[in-house]
Amino acid sequence: MAPTRTRRTIGRAAIVAAAVLASSLAFAAPAQAKTSANGGDFAVTVAGTTYNPAPGKDVKLKDLKPGATVAVRGINVGFDIRVANLGVYNYTLTGAPDAQRMVTKPTTIFASKVPTLSSAQLAGATIKELQVQDDTLVVTFTTAAGKYKIQAKDGAQGGIFQMETEFAAPVEFVHTLAPGIFYFVNAFTGKVNFGDGVDAVTSGPNAHQMLLGKDSPQVATKTLQTGTVTKWIVQPGGRLGGVLGEDAIELSAGATNCTSQCQAQNQIHGSLPVPPNPVDPTPIGG
């Protein structure tokens, strides 16, 4: 059931009061959901207040006390940010109707994406900046030791998630897949993908594409790869992102070794060949 909304105004932003379940994720699209050009609509709940601006508008806030959990809910994607360790939990595709969807029901992809930070690095964590507009979220945390940014898109596939770290030393990130999802070596590309091994349905009312994804590192080194877990050492200014769908299997050379203003020169714009979907992939170590 979609949450009931009560609207009030803070400045130019539309604020929505919503109940957020602490122990489980509710992935119904927001009530009276808006539609952007690519079908996304994020609502972000911080310390009991939900920010969900009107279509085409944005909300920009600074210096927020984050509470225990920042809940991000969209039409296509949902996840929680746990402030105690700045980890992302239960990154889930909703399966909402969309020409590019890869699932037809709520499906958790990542159980967690967690940076390994010390108590000193986490001390005084606050939301320095929060920006929400339609299908886009950017949230920057500051602590006594540095900054940590999460960027997300509410889309059925593509480059829709990224974490960046700005601490004095490298940070280890641990990605743990949800049950039923596994890492495998793509026989067509030789690269590591993740998915559920389920063939796509190509026609009918429940049509969807094959669930495929890939970790997308920049200035990061992989230190562990199993069937369900990867570990990365990310350098200051580096990032660890995620891509879904065709972007996860296109024959690219990968990101450059860049820590500043790298996005434009690394964009592909669909110009690279895309190999066939893998058939009956086998989990790494399976």
Question: Mind listing the pLDDT tens digit for each residue in 224-275?
Answer: 999 999 999 999 989 999 999 988 988 765 555 554 555 433 444 445 566 7
pLDDT over threshold 50, residue 219 = yes
pLDDT over threshold 70, residue 213 = yes
**pLDDT value of residue 208:** 84
pLDDT over threshold 90, residue 204 = no
Amino acid (one-letter) located at 116: T
Contact predicate 51/78, CB 8 Å: no
More confident residue, 6 or 110: 110
**pLDDT value of residue 15:** 28
**pLDDT value of residue 272:** 55
User: What are 72-104's pLDDT values in tens digits?
Assistant: 999 999 999 999 999 999 999 999 998 889 999
> Buried b / exposed e across 111-149, counting CB within 10 Å, b at 16+?
bbbbbebeeebbeebebbbbbbbbbbbebbbbbebbebb
Strand 69-73 and strand 13-17: the pairing is unpaired
Give the whole-angstrom CA distance, residue 175 versus residue 214: 11
Contact predicate 42/27, CB 8 Å: no
Amino acid (one-letter) located at 179: P
Angle made by CA atoms 164, 167, 168, in degrees to the nearest 5: 140
Give the whole-angstrom CA distance, residue 116 versus residue 111: 16
Contact predicate 261/269, CB 8 Å: no
Amino acid (one-letter) located at 128: K
| Average pLDDT score, the chain | 82
Strand 13-17 and strand 107-116: the pairing is unpaired
Percent of the chain predicted with pLDDT > 90: 62
User: 61: Cβ–Cβ under 8 A, 6 or more apart, which residues?
Assistant: 13, 51, 127, 129, 130, 131
- Looking at the DSSP bridge assignments, the partners of residue 261 are none
Reading the block at residue 206, the tokens are: 């429940």
All domains of the chain in start order, with CATH: 6-266 (2.70.98)
**pLDDT value of residue 185:** 94
Percent of the chain predicted with pLDDT > 70: 78
